[in-house]
Structure 1
């Protein structure tokens, strides 16, 4: 739906509402049939404890169906917002604006008004919750989305509505951050382009390189022009301008910026507008799940982007490549938020029980000296010689030893880890496996987040409490001893998953759905009533 169409539809709705509601309200003096109104309202809200309590406390006075200026303003603001829910990627049918308008127009008695009063309040509360916290419950869509969504108390919303200028209050319901606003702008942009025919034909090739010519290059050229990466041209050659455009496209899609339209680049180029729009709508839903107060300074790990960022006042301070959990049922990195409390320099790796018994125990059964960099400890913390252990006597259930790797440059955690205590045992850390960061797709870990530049990451975090964070860090590192360094100001950490996200300047960024989570979210949104309409692309 375009913004212009939304405004036209809203004008028609308000004209109809003005006629029907004026007829109803002028036909019912303020005190007429008060008992019938209150009785109907009480019946309508009885099953909702919050609504029943709110109306009981206000003496079952109307907030929508009265003829006061406040009631009229609230009605108008509600109808306007309901007519624009598509702008937010919400399921319009869920709120049944047409049905509400019809029932308001058909009201002929105080009892009718009481029933409508309750229905308007229920619709308002559902709308408010969806706009503030999302249509879906994240954990019901995917068990690895551990995010705890904050829900605003219904009484708080009703009180805000009745004590604030209605239009201003409704504008506060959706997320107020820049990311949400830019995603909404991208949604409108894509819908506008779809109405004009989309991006045109896909590129019929598996690889195209600079110097190539012919029909596939023309298709590539035209696609890039329609996408806004290339000025209009009649050239049929993969020249320098096409190469530059391909590199810009690759940068916006997290691909290697070599200027060659290889398999992954052509696959991304051929993704339809429909799919990109789905990503944007899903990202808007995800923004509604995320706490509005991310922290003045916070860490943002976008799993699909394989990156970790330190943000200060919503501005990027530092960014590094990351490796995330492998796309396997027991290794995918979860999504959640917590607070970073400290760094561990020269960490010991306490091998998780699942890795110890499923990976290392079978190796030690075959060869007791396998994985010789690891040490065994009994339940009292004493180191145990492998020569004294009959590994063949143990299995995953009865293996009695803890396995640890002492601090070293070969340690699986590298030389520093960043701890935000959580029940999922997820943290950020260094790694000796540096070569993996050169990969385009970086899902290799057991779930934790490996950082390409952990030292620089540490310097940035320590810069708020140390005059010379680099010297301080290395003075601790050079001791070779495991050392905990508390952060004087703890830092919120958000592990997110965005296949569409924005930058303060530049184009919207798109990434692959590495774990398939956004596809599942879209299916759930579609089931809830969200749709794209008739689009091309």
Structure 2
């Protein structure tokens, strides 16, 4: 009996001991968990801030108010957590953005950064502990950077400058998420069209030339009308030095003789500057060489800005046509390859060709020319009052109260036109005035675009259509009757305005600012 009682006492003691041990273990584990939770909670509090501090910031720094909407949206998305700091301190991306602000000139911008001195002082003093002013400054400056460097002037201002190519509105919040993970992405040439980065590379070269003194003006000798290969003159040395700086000639022999090496360099220079390709050097060529390095830099900068206005995916179509007004050039791309280049005639300064995009939908063989009211009122009716046979002499007729020109080789539209319906009533067409393509400056039209190779363009567009062989196209062009063709696949047509452009060989090309738009744009960039 006593043994049995002793046994149950031992069992009771064992149970109590086990219970006490479990209780102590559980208490210890809870204490550890509470400490961890407390630590996590404190860290979370440390990396968050009061939302009212955003209002306080803009009250203190009102010049950044432009970016308040974007900033507020970003922090709401992130529950008002610090973006530029983590538990280790300020993130690498913060330094990347700060460095970009210090080097905006690399992107062709001379914009003043508001409150930059205040940020400089804070950035130097700040420690690993999160600083709310530095945090909000960096966020605002991130949007400042994307606005200036990636987006450019707003669409209202670009429209005021006559630019109606499609622009894509983008949110750079997701881009920031990527940068915070990998700051090096900011230096990848992916956010804008490739031409922007090509111009940027040339800009750096030209800035280096400017820092080294640029180039000196060349004086064309009085009484000298031209220079041709074989001639000898002191000016030849100056031309060599000038072309060496821009990479048109590989070495400077310092010879006064216009030799073969210089002739090749002159051809390259002329091609880059919109001149006809020959070896004759005229005063106008020297005048172009004398355009200052600072003016060339300005031209590059304004065209970098125009690149910011172009949607990146604008050239992703399998085929598209590009017309650059200042270069008087049409380029037809298929599968990323140039299949046709053609000289064009564009609108005069009074009848500017509009910068916009359209979809080529129709080809018209042997077209009528329906005379626009503006031309009818200003030109044809006054001529008709002077000569009652004016319409007959020009193969014109009245049609439904308007005037039109009959199809044929003398028709102002030539033998074919290409339509991409638009509100500007602009299209591509042939012309009977072929001699205009012999001019270096070809701004002669009322706004439409005359092409030197209309038949070749039609053949390429209809190449895969079994109903249209080159022979049938030729017959339709010369058939004397208007014939419309609806294209099975519409082709994007982009009309742009670039006074500098880097070609596929990496050479910078400069063209005359025929509509005087560069200076206006440069002034706007300085204001912003």
Q: Work out whether the TM-score is over 0.5.
A: yes
Closer, same or farther: CA 136–50 of 1 in aligned 2, 3 Å: closer
Q: Is the 8 A contact 1:325 1:333 kept in 2?
A: yes
Residue 455 of structure 1 corresponds to 455
1:498–1:434 distance in 2 versus 1, CA, 3 Å: same
* Counterpart secondary structure, 1:337: strand
Q: 1:31 to 1:316 in 2, by over 3 A?
A: same
Q: Alpha-carbon deviations, 1:276-326, whole Å to 9, x = none?
A: 111111111111111211233211101111110102344322101000101
1:333 equivalent to 2:353? Answer: yes
* Structure-2 residue corresponding to 1:124: 142
Residue 245 of structure 1, CA deviation:
2.4
1:89-116 deviations in Å (ceiling 9; x for gaps):
1235236555323234566999x93444
Alignment match of 1:309 (pick from 328, 331, 349):
331
Equivalent residues, number: 472
Kindly state the Cα deviation for residue 441 of structure 1 after the two structures are TM-superposed.
0.5
Query: 1:417·1:430 contact (CA, 8 Å) conserved in 2?
Result: yes
Secondary structure of the residue aligned to 1:37 is coil
For the residues of structure 2 that align with 1:216 and 1:188, how far apart are their CA atoms?
A: 29
Is 1:505 matched up with 2:505?
yes
Single out whichever of 245-254 and 216-225 deviates more from structure 2: 216-225
Q: Distance in 2 between matches of 1:340 and 1:141?
A: 23
Equivalences for residues 51-450 of structure 1 within 5 A: 51-67=71-87, 72-94=91-113, 97-105=116-124, 113-135=131-153, 137=155, 139=157, 142-153=160-171, 157-163=172-178, 165-171=181-187, 175-205=191-221, 207-210=225-228, 211-230=230-249, 231-293=251-313, 294=315, 295-328=317-350, 331-372=351-392, 373-378=395-400, 401-450=401-450
Given that residues 186 and 508 in structure 1 are in contact (C-alpha distance below 8 angstroms), is that contact kept between their aligned partners in structure 2? Answer: yes
Cα 1:248–1:107 change in 2 (3 A) is: closer
TM-score by length of 1: 0.80
Which residue number in structure 2 is paired with residue 19 of structure 1?
Answer: none
List alignment gaps of at least 5 residues for structure 1.
1-28, 379-400, 529-537
Query: Following TM superposition, by how much is the alpha carbon of 1:355 offset from its aligned partner in structure 2, in angstroms?
Result: 0.8
Are positions 1:483 and 2:483 aligned together? yes
Aligned-partner Cα distance in 2 for 1:258–1:358: 40
Match of 1:403, SS state, is strand
Structure 1 distance, partners of 2:186, 2:119, is 18
Instruction: Provide the rounded CA distance (Å) in 1 between the counterparts of 2:47 and 2:240.
Output: 70
Q: TM-score, normalised by structure 2?
A: 0.81
Secondary structure in structure 2 of the residue aligned to 1:305 = coil
Deviation at 1:158, TM superposition (A): 1.3
Give the Cα separation in 1 of the matches to 2:178 and 2:452: 51
Cα separation, 1, equivalents of 2:182 and 2:115 = 20
Which residue of the partner structure matches residue 21 of structure 1?
none
Query: How far did 1:464 drift?
Result: 4.3
Contact 1:296 1:314 in 2 (8 A): yes
RMSD of aligned alpha carbons: 2.9
Once the two structures are TM-superposed, the CA of residue 239 in structure 1 deviates from its matched residue by: 3.3
CA distance in 1, matches of 2:259, 2:380: 53
Contact 2:361 2:490 in 1 (8 A): yes
- Counterpart of 2:15 in structure 1 is none
Distance 2:187 2:260 in 1: 47
User: 101-110 vs 186-195, which deviates more?
Assistant: 101-110
Structure possessing the higher radius of gyration over alpha carbons: 2
Q: Secondary structure at the match of 1:304?
A: coil
Q: Which runs of 5+ in 2 are unaligned?
A: 1-41, 60-64
8 A Cα contact 1:38 1:60, kept in partner = yes
2:111, 2:525 within 8 Å by CA — same for their partners in 1?
Answer: no
Q: Provide the secondary structure at the position in 1 that maps to 2:91.
A: helix
TM superposition shift of 1:274: 1.4
Q: Mean Cα displacement is larger for which, 127-136 or 163-172?
A: 163-172
